[in-house]
């Protein structure tokens, strides 16, 4: 493999992976990662994200394409020479070694002197706030503590990159949030580069500098969390990230970057356009549940359509309304639980309102 002339820190250049030489699990992955970025590979299971991580770590071979670190291809570098730290979902701590021995292992392998190792281990134990746990065995720690040890072990040899494969998947919700904070804190403090794999979008949105959304071996969109949520580039991303409503319609005309769409019931709504939208073709307009309002409202709006009330579910801090469009599509609306949350009787019609800037028209799935 030839080296790529570039000053990009980590580069995937048209990387493909096939296990059986027939079907591609990863179909041409490209990304440029800057030093210190926190990149998340997000996608449903089987979308190829873990395969990308394993190719980067060297535990899966690359079928074609180049993975380069600082301009040098690492395709032919053995996994143990890549200097890449890894954090696993099941921690993968060595059960027969104490916490301190686990941390010391990568340093011992690198022939560091005993005194240096001792100092470094103490430093990293302090970093993950486990100063007094050095002589314990992994089995004597809680799940959160084990994952902190695993983090420290992946960082202690100052690797070029740190890979995390669903590291918080085995923890319960509270602990998970605590660890997200912990990882973000360490990332800010030490400035290492992270490639993080998860199927949990809340985790991805709250931690990453950029997220690559995977589906079916292809990156659907790679962008910062806010952009991914506000400006999804296709219907898959719009549906996968957060909750979304899809209203089927027909594109009447496109002007000034706005699409005029006829929706069920005959009304016309105006939406942002997206790539591949064609006049006269069918499309789907996506609107997030929290961007929809019900008449009467004080919120600004410039689109409206009528739908039949189905049910209203009390969730606590907000209320979910279910409406049905004339073509049978169900629409969800999330409203804050305040005095303006209206009551409806079964089968009553309501007017749904929203802003043009809050909806996007995507080409209908073929």
Q: Helix 114-127 vs helix 143-155: angle between axes, to the nearest 10 degrees? A: 130
Q: Report the nearest approach of another protein to the CB of residue 143 (Å).
A: 10
> Which residues have a Cβ under 8 Å from the Cβ of 294 and sit 6 or more positions away?
321, 333, 335, 342, 350, 351, 352, 353
Q: Report the nearest approach of another protein to the CB of residue 131 (Å).
A: 22
Tell me how far apart the alpha carbons of residues 309 and 13 are, in angstroms, rounded to a whole number.
Answer: 50
Q: Give percent helix, percent strand, percent coil of the chain, each to the nearest 5.
A: 25, 35, 40
Place of tokens 């749904």: 352
Residue 20 is a binding residue for another protein (CB under 8 A): no
Place of tokens 């065995």: 137
Cβ(358)–Cβ(291) below 8 Å: yes
Q: Report the nearest approach of another protein to the CB of residue 154 (Å).
A: 8
Q: Report the nearest approach of another protein to the CB of residue 109 (Å).
A: 5
What is the H or E stretch that residue 329 is in? none
DSSP 100-129: HHHHHHHHHHTT--HHHHHHHHHHHHHHTT
* Residues in 40-69 at the binding interface with another protein, rule: CB under 8 A: 57-59
Judged by beta carbon, residue 115 or residue 139, the one nearer another protein is 139
* Residues in 227-246 at the binding interface with another protein, rule: CB under 8 A: none
Judged by beta carbon, residue 168 or residue 211, the one nearer another protein is 168
What is the H or E stretch that residue 177 is in? helix 173-190
Judged by beta carbon, residue 171 or residue 277, the one nearer another protein is 171
- Site for another protein (CB under 8 A): which residue of 27, 64, 70, 105? 105
Tell me how far apart the alpha carbons of residues 67 and 44 are, in angstroms, rounded to a whole number.
Answer: 23
Residue 309 is a binding residue for another protein (CB under 8 A): no
* Residues in 135-174 at the binding interface with another protein, rule: CB under 8 A: 137-140, 153-154, 157, 163
Strand stretches in the chain, DSSP E: 10-18, 24-33, 38-42, 64-69, 72-73, 84-87, 161-165, 194-198, 210-215, 218-223, 245-255, 258-262, 268-272, 282-287, 293-294, 303-314, 318-324, 330-336, 349-354, 359-363
Which region, judged by CB under 8 A, interacts with another protein, from 124-132, 134-142, 264-272, 304-312?
Answer: 134-142
Judged by beta carbon, residue 123 or residue 349, the one nearer another protein is 123
Judged by beta carbon, residue 194 or residue 241, the one nearer another protein is 194
Judged by beta carbon, residue 157 or residue 344, the one nearer another protein is 157
- Site for another protein (CB under 8 A): which residue of 48, 106, 167, 232? 106
Number of chain positions touching another protein (CB under 8 A): 30
Q: Report the nearest approach of another protein to the CB of residue 196 (Å).
A: 15
Judged by beta carbon, residue 160 or residue 329, the one nearer another protein is 160
Binding site for another protein (CB under 8 A): 57-59, 79-81, 83-86, 88, 90-96, 105-106, 109-110, 137-140, 153-154, 157, 163
């Amino acid at each position: 493999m030839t080296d790529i002339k570039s000053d990009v820190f980590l580069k995937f250049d048209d990387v493909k992976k096939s296990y059986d030489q027939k079907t591609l699990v990863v179909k041409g992955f490209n990304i440029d990662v800057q030093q210190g970025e926190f990149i998340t590979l997000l996608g449903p299971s089987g979308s190829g994200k873990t395969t990308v991580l394993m190719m980067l770590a060297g535990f899966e071979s690359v079928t074609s394409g180049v993975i380069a670190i600082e301009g040098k291809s690492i395709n032919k570098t053995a996994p143990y020479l890549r200097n890449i730290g890894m954090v696993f979902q099941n921690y993968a701590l060595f059960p027969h070694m104490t916490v301190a021995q686990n941390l010391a292992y990568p340093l011992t392998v690198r022939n560091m002197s005993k005194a240096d190792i001792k100092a470094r281990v103490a430093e990293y134990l302090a970093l993950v706030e486990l100063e007094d746990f050095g002589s314990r065995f992994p089995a004597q720690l809680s799940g959160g503590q084990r994952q902190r040890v695993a983090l420290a072990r992946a960082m202690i040899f100052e690797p070029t990159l740190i890979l995390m494969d669903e590291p918080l998947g085995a923890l319960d919700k509270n602990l998970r949030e605590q660890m997200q904070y912990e990882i973000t804190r360490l990332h800010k403090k030490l400035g290492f580069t992270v490639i993080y794999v998860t199927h949990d979008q809340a985790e991805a949105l709250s931690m990453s500098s950029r997220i690559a959304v995977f589906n079916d071996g292809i990156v659907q969109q790679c962008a910062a969390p806010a952009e991914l949520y506000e400006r999804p580039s296709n219907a898959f991303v719009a549906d996968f990230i957060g909750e979304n409503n899809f209203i089927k319609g027909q594109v009447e005309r496109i002007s000034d970057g706005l699409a005029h769409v006829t929706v069920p019931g005959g009304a016309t709504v105006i939406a942002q356009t997206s790539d591949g939208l064609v006049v006269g073709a069918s499309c789907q307009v996506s609107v997030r549940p929290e961007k929809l309002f019900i008449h009467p409202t004080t919120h600004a709006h410039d689109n409206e359509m009528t739908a039949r009330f189905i049910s209203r579910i009390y969730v606590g801090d907000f209320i979910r309304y279910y409406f049905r469009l004339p073509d049978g599509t169900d629409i969800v609306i999330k409203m804050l639980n305040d005095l303006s949350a209206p009551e409806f009787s079964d089968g009553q019609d309501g007017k749904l309102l929203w802003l043009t800037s809050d909806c996007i028209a995507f080409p209908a799935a073929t």
